[in-house]
Amino acid sequence: MFEFAWPWLFVLLPLPWLVARVLAPATGETGAALRLPVALSGFDLAGGANPVARWKRWVALLVWALLVTAASRPQWIGEPIDLARNGRDLMLLVDASGSMDTPDMRIGGQEVTRYGAVKAIAGDFVRRRVGDRLGLIVFGSQAYLLTPLTFDRDTVGKQLAESVVGLPGRETAIGDAVGLAVKRLRERPQDQRVAILLTDGVNDAGELDPAKAIDLAVAEKVKVYTIGIGAEAMRINDGFFGSRTVNPSAEIDEKMLAEMASKTGGRYFRARDTAELAQIYRDIDRLEPGADNGQQFRPIDEWFFWPLSAALLLALSAALAPLAAAMRVPRPRRASEVTP
């Protein structure tokens, strides 16, 4: 979009005509009321006592108009660009052990596994985190970094969607997952280090004890939010003996998860179904707000140099015109050069 930053300067356009009227000699006086400066003596903008060629007056007026236009700062303003504040450095720690294949969740009335629910709901959480650096760690018997911290939310979401239960092993190495997250976050600004751990079990594998992992997180000021996922009641078919109701989440170490969150400044959540899981991620959105996109920037290209350059070229051409005309006048021949 084209506009002038200071359009009010166009009120100066009639200034040369007004100056010429004020400085013009009074009618009937024998001499000039006021002598014009030498720089203005060649232009009779009011049609007074110093008549010059009409084209010079028009050039002078055009030069003045171009100078006023340049002073008004013509500029081209581009499309708005969102400016995001510095966001969080969020590392997602997702349990991909064998128990995450338990089908005790429902989405849209359909039975899904815990991992399927996490893919759907955590994937939506990833898409909302505009301006944050996100990373993804999946863990089972071992912890693996699938995606380093990045602004590319699409890549993080794709890696989560393509991950499968059991790939990192069937057991649960919670301590290793937290230790790996701390290692990846400790180089980031202290007030932005956040880890979100989701699991449905107890630490039964890995080299790093969860208590030691908590100490490392506290020392490196990494805030850890923990989520325990899994229904508390599920009907299973025992074949000949019929069906019975069991608690498929009996192994969740809620005490350890709550302690980890409390000591690091985070919070422990319990997700018994997909509705609770979705609400948990909304709560984390509120507790750790993402970057603010309310501020915008519009790039501005200044164009004042175009009318300014044109004014200077016109003034220079007008000043050199008499010299060019004088060079074209034939030199008078001296008497000695006349052929008898």
Per-position DSSP letters for 271-327, written without gaps between them: ESSHHHHHHHHHHHHHHS------EEE--EEE-THHHHHHHHHHHHHHHHHHHHHHH
Strand segments (E) across 113-192: 133-139, 143-150
Shared-domain flag, residues 149 and 50: no
Distance CA 53, CA 263 (A): 89
Shared-domain flag, residues 103 and 148: yes
Instruction: Please list, residue by residue across 178-215, b when 16 or more beta carbons sit within 10 angstroms of its beta carbon and e when fewer do.
Output: bbbbbebbeebeeebbbbbbbbbbbbebbebebeebbe
Shared-domain flag, residues 96 and 175: yes
Shared-domain flag, residues 282 and 303: no
List the CATH number of the domain containing 141.
3.40.50.410
Q: Identify the three-state secondary structure at position 228.
A: strand
Distance CA 49, CA 260 (A): 94
Q: How far is CA 289 from CA 100, 131, 173, 277, in A?
A: 28, 10, 29, 18
Domains: count for the chain: 2
Asked whether residue 239 is assigned to any structural domain, the reply reads yes
Which residue, among 94, 86, 180, has the nearest Cα to 133 in the 3D structure?
Answer: 86
Is 110 within 8 Å of 125 (Cβ atoms)? no
Shared-domain flag, residues 173 and 102: yes
Q: Identify the three-state secondary structure at position 66.
A: helix
pLDDT in tens for each of the 340 residues of the chain? 888 888 888 888 888 878 777 876 555 444 444 454 444 444 444 444 445 567 777 888 888 888 888 888 888 887 776 555 557 899 999 999 999 998 988 888 888 999 999 999 999 999 988 888 999 999 999 999 999 999 999 999 999 999 999 989 999 999 999 999 999 999 898 888 999 999 998 999 999 999 999 999 999 999 999 999 988 876 766 666 666 677 777 788 999 999 999 999 999 999 999 999 999 999 998 888 765 545 566 677 888 888 888 888 888 877 777 676 666 656 555 555 555 5
Is 182 within 8 Å of 194 (Cβ atoms)? no
Shared-domain flag, residues 312 and 277: no
Shared-domain flag, residues 52 and 199: no
Domain of 135, in residue numbers: 84-287
Strand segments (E) across the chain: 2-4, 74-77, 81-83, 89-95, 105-107, 110-112, 133-139, 143-150, 193-199, 223-229, 234-237, 243-246, 268-271, 295-297, 300-302
What is the residue whose two structure tokens read 């990045």? 150
Asked whether residue 332 is assigned to any structural domain, the reply reads no
Is 156 within 8 Å of 147 (Cβ atoms)? yes
Asked whether residue 323 is assigned to any structural domain, the reply reads no
Shared-domain flag, residues 119 and 21: no
Shared-domain flag, residues 283 and 305: no
Asked whether residue 339 is assigned to any structural domain, the reply reads no
Shared-domain flag, residues 133 and 30: no
Distance CA 36, CA 63 (A): 19
Is 257 within 8 Å of 268 (Cβ atoms)? yes
Asked whether residue 324 is assigned to any structural domain, the reply reads no
Asked whether residue 330 is assigned to any structural domain, the reply reads no
Total residues found in the chain within this entry: 340
Shared-domain flag, residues 73 and 123: no
Phi, psi of 326 (to 5 degrees): -65, -35
Shared-domain flag, residues 92 and 72: no
What pTM was computed for the model?
0.61
CA 45 to the chain's CA centroid: 53
Asked whether residue 326 is assigned to any structural domain, the reply reads no
Asked whether residue 178 is assigned to any structural domain, the reply reads yes
The pLDDT of residue 31: 47
